[in-house]
């Protein structure tokens, strides 16, 4: 956790807070240490940006969740469009 906080330029308490808000749930090592994925670090960095801009931590976590959901929906939509294009082209 200390290394992750250092990489993000934040505190361990910030990482605990976004964990308590259920924005990220790090895995635990055999020794009980928190292990963060690159994706989780990216999410944590975005939350930190919002908090640094004055957004309350709970709101920042909700914003990040919504941004992530939107990005996933857009990815699925783009994938659907790519797979549907050949079928539409054949009907013409």
pLDDT, the chain, mean: 91
Q: Cα(58)–Cα(43) distance, rounded to whole angstroms?
A: 14
Looking at residue 64, what is its pLDDT?
97
Please, are residues 61 and 17 in contact by the beta-carbon 8 Å criterion?
no
pLDDT interval class at 1 (50, 70, 90): confident
Q: Cα(21)–Cα(18) distance, rounded to whole angstroms?
A: 5
- Judge whether residue 7 has pLDDT over 60: yes
In tens, the pLDDT along 35-73 reads 999 999 999 999 999 999 999 999 999 999 999 999 999
């Amino acid at each position: 956790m200390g290394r992750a906080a250092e990489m993000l330029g934040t505190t361990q308490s910030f990482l605990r807070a976004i964990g308590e808000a259920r924005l990220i749930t790090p895995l635990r090592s055999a020794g009980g240490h928190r292990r963060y994925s690159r994706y989780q670090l990216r999410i944590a960095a975005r939350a930190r940006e919002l908090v640094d801009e004055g957004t309350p931590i709970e709101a920042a976590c909700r914003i990040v969740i919504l941004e992530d959901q939107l990005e996933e929906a857009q990815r699925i939509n783009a994938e659907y469009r790519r797979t549907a294009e050949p079928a539409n082209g054949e009907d013409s």
